[in-house]
Amino acid sequence: MTNRIRDIRKAKGLTLADLAAACDPPTTAQTIGRLETGMRSLSLTWMNRIAPALGVDPASLMRADTAAPAQIIAELGAHGPEALTAPREALLPSELASEDAPAPLVLAIRDSVGEYRPGDLLWLRQLDPDDISGAINRDCLVPRSGGRFAFGRLIDRRGTLIGLLPPGAGQKQVVVDNPAWIAVAMMLVRPL
């Protein structure tokens, strides 16, 4: 079995030092590096310290050697695609969710609306309505009364009122009062 600490850490945009500081109790970046590379054994104790710091289930830190995960082999920059020095494992959106947070939601796109195309799947992460500062100016799905939803760019929040600008051209702002949750877009999956 090999571990996936590096792949998950990089997918979440964390440095070795960030992850080391997020552990409880904190550890060193060097120790995290040794655990990632296998120079130090990844015990159950370490898994239970690192997994919460990454916001994942401890079991997701391990991968069977027989599994053939999708690989990230290059990164596209301003000057074109650049090969990675070593391939990284591509994580599924469900693996990016933390164990204490709700499971990701998925909005299926049926018709072309704004920048979305038919067949797109928009993966969303649920937020508490009181903690939405990171969702401002991002596409969000919000529940409304009667089992309906509102979707659009989160542009305003005043008290319990949430303002969304729908993605379609010429549509007016939608205001939802006191939603139970807000789900912010975290990943778009588009078939080619």
Q: Over the chain, what is the mean pLDDT?
A: 85
Q: What is the pTM of this model?
A: 0.59
Could you tell me the two tokens for 40? 């130090």
More confident residue, 155 or 103: 155
Dist CA 45 CA 176 (whole Å): 45
pLDDT at 84: 82
pLDDT at 41 over 60: yes
Q: Give yes or no for a cis peptide into 25 (omega within 30° of 0).
A: yes
Whose tokens are 């060193």? That residue is 28
**Structural domains in the chain, sorted by start:** 2-91 (1.10.260.40), 105-189 (2.10.109.10)
Q: Nearest to residue 70, comparing CAs of 1, 7, 6?
A: 7
Q: Got the DSSP string for 49-64? A: HHHHHHTS-GGGGEE-
More confident residue, 36 or 95: 36
pLDDT at 60 over 70: yes
Q: Indicate the residue type of 84.
A: L
| pLDDT tens-digit readout, 77-124 | 888 788 888 887 776 666 666 656 677 889 999 888 889 999 899 988
12 near 54, Cβ under 8 Å? yes
pLDDT at 97: 60
Total Cβ atoms within 10 A of residue 19: 25
pLDDT at 156: 81
Dist CA 134 CA 51 (whole Å): 23
